[in-house]
Amino acid sequence: MQDIILEARHINKEFHDPVTVQVLTDITFSVNKGEFVSVIGKSGCGKSTLLYILSTMDTDYEGELLIDQELMTGRSDAELARVRNEKIGFVFQFHYLLNEFTVLRNVMLPGLKLNRYSEEEVEHRAMERLKMLGIEHLAVQKAYRISGGEKQRVAIARALINDPHIIMGDEPTGNLDTKNSEHVFEIFKELAELHNQTLLIVTHDQSFAERSGRIIEMEDGRIIRH
Amino acid sequence: MNTKLIFGIAKSLLLARLGQTLVAAVGVTFSIAMFITLLSFMNGLNDLLDGLILNRTPHVRLYNEIKPSENQPVNESPEYANSYNFISSVKSGISRQEIYNSGPIIQAVKTDPRVVGVAPKLTTQVFFNEGTIDITGVINGVDVEEEMRLFNFQDYVTAGSAIDAKNVANSIILGKGLADILVADIGDVVQVTTVEGERFPLKVVGYFQSGIQEIDKVQSYASIVTTQKLEGKPANYITDIQVKLQDLKMAPAVAQEYRQKFDIDAEDIQTANAQFETGSNIRTIISYAVGVTLLVVAGFGIFNILNMMIYEKMDSIAILKATGFSGRDVNRVFLLISMSIGFFGGMVGLVFGFIFSVIIDNIPFNTAALPTIKTYPVDYSPVFYFIGGTFSLITTYLAGFFPARKASRVDPVEIIRGK
């Protein structure tokens, strides 16, 4: 049996403001190590909401969430922050780099926070990842001076810095042109195939989803295919 | 553990908005500078005004008060010990103002380790004769050298020389007001009539200016020998023993002790000058109140700027939290930002406060009433700098507390979803 990295058990979520709406209904699935999973569905089907719950940032839900076979539900803010730091890497639709820092520093921040390696090692690891993504020449640039496609690659490098168990993406190609989208997809594909990296990507780009290893399709807060 | 990282992030956020940071820091700088300047100046004035009286007042004064005997003879008599004795028309006895055994008392007090010095004094009432007019006055016979050492006598002698009162026989230092009335220049001779009716010529060797006009119109100083000669008294005749202590606060206790030990009247400085304490306390409170108000205003400035910064940095906060920074880390980043503004602003403020104090200290301030004062008085007490520095940190901590808490509670989901 393969290692289960992420497991959701009977997750329900309601929004209460302004009226109570059931957004997620009885979501149960698991992701194994090395899988490249896409979550697709129409706008408003709850796929982003699900991603935030899976990422431990949203704690207001019913059901159970396990990451690396440990129960995440009910843990404190500080513990969850540590889990996110250590085990999860994020790539968002908008690139969310810290403009006050250089590209290299942006990639290094989660690594420094983890505090597992010395600063020199973290820097070395950050450079390795930038090289792997072909953007090492941008390392000393300020984060706001680089292009959108480059920013997304920096965000991926940042997600990779702590060797996370899983990388989660919220429409990582949603804001990019075809060429850059293709580039980002290639990177994900390579990570999954060459580095056995687990990926869970929310997208509504059908062609992107079809080329990934596994598709979870959602509709009206339920999983209809997985 | 993560302290260095937190410092790094705080520093980057601060430097990214250098303009805003500077505005906030200037607010703190300004208020701390004003706080220091105000307190230094106010306290300098306080010390000056207190010094007018307190520097020249002995901490403990030993004397004999003219008063009726508390133990009338009939009460002492064993024959009437068990009866009620009614005595009417009690008068003060022919008690002498002279201090008995003054020599041994002075010796005893001098050896007391709490005492800085002892100066004997002899006060006598006289009339100054100016043509046909007699003007009442007081001559204080003093040990000129001790008076100079202990009570800064020379500072108040504005013309002539204090020590001449000792070196020139039959000399006198007149109060400036008195000298004006008598039209006596230095080197002139004034005629003095004692209470006993003896006439005496005295040579004016200086003017004396206390800063209090009423005093200058009646007081004058002469050496103790001259005064004893005026009164026709022997060389051990003195009416007051003035004691200066190491620590002014001990005066009441010491006075109490001497009163019992030497069987004499003793008055401490606190009892004699209670009103000065009150005045300076109130002035100090007012200046602290103004200083603290300035700091609070600066605190609100920082509060606003931090709040704005947090709104601007919502995305950054969200991404920090998403990548594993806890609410506590974010909280520390913003508190650190606030307190660095307080720290650096405060430091510069202390320096400016000192500079302003020096400037005030160099502004000429001449007044006839205060002969020794040439510039505005300033107190450079390090206590003010300590309080100012501490306060700048406390205020900025409080100003940063709520914005930082707000930042720590930012929900990254809302920010990321909101786009």
- What pLDDT does residue A95 have? 59
Give me the residue spans of the domains in chain A: 4-225
State the pLDDT at residue B368. Answer: 64
Pairing between β-strand B240-245 and β-strand A62-67 as defined by DSSP bridges: unpaired
Provide the 3-class DSSP secondary structure of residue A161: coil
The dihedral through the CA atoms of A42, A97, B415, A86 has a sign that is: positive
Residue contact A48–B323, C-beta within 8 A: no
From the CB of residue B175, how many other CB atoms can be counted at a distance below 10 Å?
26
Instruction: Tell me the nearest-neighbour CA distance from A211 into chain B, angstroms.
Output: 26
- Residue B16 near chain A (CB below 8 Å): yes
* Nearest-CA distance B321 → chain A (Å): 7
Across the interface, do A98 and B321 touch by the CB < 8 Å criterion? no
Would you call A97 helix, strand, or coil by DSSP? Answer: coil
* A90–chain B nearest CA distance, Å: 7
User: Do the Cβ atoms of B320 and A84 come within 8 Å?
Assistant: no
How far is C-alpha A193 from the chain's CA centre?
A: 17
Q: Which two tokens stand for residue A99?
A: 């403009």
Minimum distance, in Å, between the CA of residue A1 and any CA atom of chain B: 30
Could you read off the pLDDT of A23-41 as tens digits, one per residue?
888 888 888 888 888 888 8
- Report chain B residues whose CB lies below 8 A from the CB of A81: 321, 324-327, 329
User: Rounded to an integer, what distance in angstroms lies between the CA atom of residue B223 and that of residue B124?
Assistant: 12
pLDDT of the residue at B353: 92
CA distance A126 to A1: 33
Any B CB within 8 A of A111 CB: no
Distance CA B198, CA B232 (A): 9
* Cross-chain Cβ contact A94/B419 below 8 Å: yes
B364 touches chain A (CB under 8 A): no
**Which residue in chain A is spatially nearest to B414 when comparing CA positions?**
A58
Q: In angstroms, what separates the C-alpha of A194 from chain B's closest C-alpha? A: 24
Q: Which residue of B has its CA nearest to A101?
A: B12
Q: Which one is predicted more confidently, B390 or A18?
A: B390
CB B123, CB B146: distance < 8 Å: no
Asked whether the beta carbons of B308 and B339 are under 8 A apart, the reply is no
| Interface contact B407, partner A, CB < 8 A | no
CB of B33 closer than 8 Å to CB of B349: yes
User: Which value, in Å, is the radius of gyration of the alpha carbons in chain A?
Assistant: 17
CB-based contacts of B69, cutoff 8 Å, min separation 6: B93, B95
Say how far apart CA A32 and CA A48 lie, in whole Å. Answer: 20
Give the helix, strand, coil percentages of chain A, each rounded to 5.
Answer: 40, 30, 35
Of the pLDDT bands very low, low, confident and very high (cuts 50, 70, 90), residue A201 is: confident
How far apart (Å, rounded) are the C-alpha atoms in residues A139 and A131?
A: 10
State the pLDDT at residue B183: 87
* Partner-chain contact A85 B323, CB within 8 Å: yes
Residue B383: which residues within 8 A CB-CB, separation 6 or more?
Answer: none
CA B187/CA B176 separation, integer angstroms: 14
User: For testing the chain A interface, which of B2, B7, B20, B323 should be mutated: the one with the most A CBs within 10 Å?
Assistant: B323
- Asked whether residue A188 carries a pLDDT value surpassing 80, the answer given is yes
Residue bearing tokens 């909401």 = A49
Q: Which residues of A touch B1 (CB under 8 A)?
A: 115
Helix B274-312 crosses helix B382-408 at what angle (to 10 degrees)?
A: 30
- CA-CA distance, A145 to A99, in Å (whole number)? 9
Under 8 Å between Cβ of A29 and A216: yes
| Distance in angstroms (rounded) separating the CA atoms of residues B377 and A163 | 68
- pLDDT band, very low/low/confident/very high, at A1 (cuts 50, 70, 90): very low
CB-CB contact of B270 with B251 (8 Å): yes
Contact flag A110-B419 (C-beta cutoff 8 Å): no
- Rounded Cα distance between B158 and B335, Å, is 58
Residue numbers of A between 18 and 57 with CB closer than 8 Å to B: 48, 52, 55, 57
Within 8 A of A48 by CB-CB distance, chain B residues are 417
d(CA A116, CA A120): 12
Measured distance CA(A182)–CA(B204) in Å, rounded: 109
- What are the tens digits of pLDDT across the range B379-412? 888 888 998 888 888 888 888 888 888 888 887 7
Longest pairwise C-alpha distance within chain B: 110
Partners of B18 on chain A (C-beta within 8 Å) are none
Report the largest interatomic distance among the alpha carbons of chain A, rounded to a whole angstrom: 52
Assigned CATH topology for domain A4-225: Rossmann fold (3.40.50)
Answer yes or no: do B13 and A100 touch at CB < 8 A: yes
Interface contact flag, B323 A158, Cβ < 8 Å: yes
Examine the pLDDT at A141 and tell me if it is beyond 70.
yes
CA separation, residue B282 to residues B52, B278, B287 (Å) = 18, 6, 9
| Cis status of the peptide bond prior to A18, with omega within 30 of 0 | yes
Q: How high is the mean pLDDT in each 10-residue block of chain B (419 residues)?
A: 79 82 84 87 82 77 81 82 84 74 85 87 88 87 86 82 85 89 88 87 88 84 89 85 85 87 84 74 83 80 80 82 84 87 89 92 77 80 88 85 85 72
Beta bridge partners of B134: B129
Rounded Cα distance, B298 and B300, in Å: 5
Torsion angle, CA of A204/A207/A210/A211, rounded to 10 degrees?
-120
Written in H, E and C, the secondary structure of chain B is CCHHHHHHHHHHHHHHCHHHHHHHHHHHHHHHHHHHHHHHHHHHHHHHHHHHHHCCCCCEEEECCCCCCCCCHHHHCHHHCCCCCCCCCCCCCCCCCCCCCHHHHHHHHHCCCCEEEEEEEEEEEEEEEECCEEEEEEEEEECHHHHHHHHCHHHHEEEECCCHHHHCCCEEEEEHHHHHHHCCCCCCEEEEEECCCCEEEEEEEEEECCCCHHHHHHEEEEEHHHHHHHHCCCCCCCCEEEEEECCHHHHHHHHHHHHHHHCCEEEEHHHHCHHHHHHHHHHHHHHHHHHHHHHHHHHHHHHHHHHHHHHHCHHHHHHHHHCCCCHHHHHHHHHHHHHHHHHHHHHHHHHHHHHHHHHHHCCECCCCCCCCCCECCCCCCHHHHHHHHHHHHHHHHHHHHHHHHHHHCCCHHHHHHHC
Instruction: Detail the DSSP E strand segments found in chain A.
Output: 4-15, 21-32, 36-41, 62-67, 70-71, 88-91, 166-170, 198-202, 214-219, 222-225
Put simply, whether B409 touches A (Cβ < 8 Å) is no
Nearest to B18 by CA among B341, B303, B396, B346: B341
Amino acid in the structure at residue A171:
E
Question: Does B315 touch chain A if contact means CB atoms closer than 8 Å?
Answer: yes
Q: What is the pLDDT at residue B369? A: 62
Tell me which of A24, A98, A119, A122 to substitute to probe the interface with B (most B C-beta atoms closer than 10 Å): A98
Q: What ipTM was assigned to the predicted interfaces of this complex?
A: 0.83
User: Would you say the pTM of this structure is higher than 0.80?
Assistant: no
Asked whether the predicted pLDDT for residue A16 surpasses 70, the reply is: yes
Among B315, B328, B413, the residue with its CB nearest the CB of A78 is B328
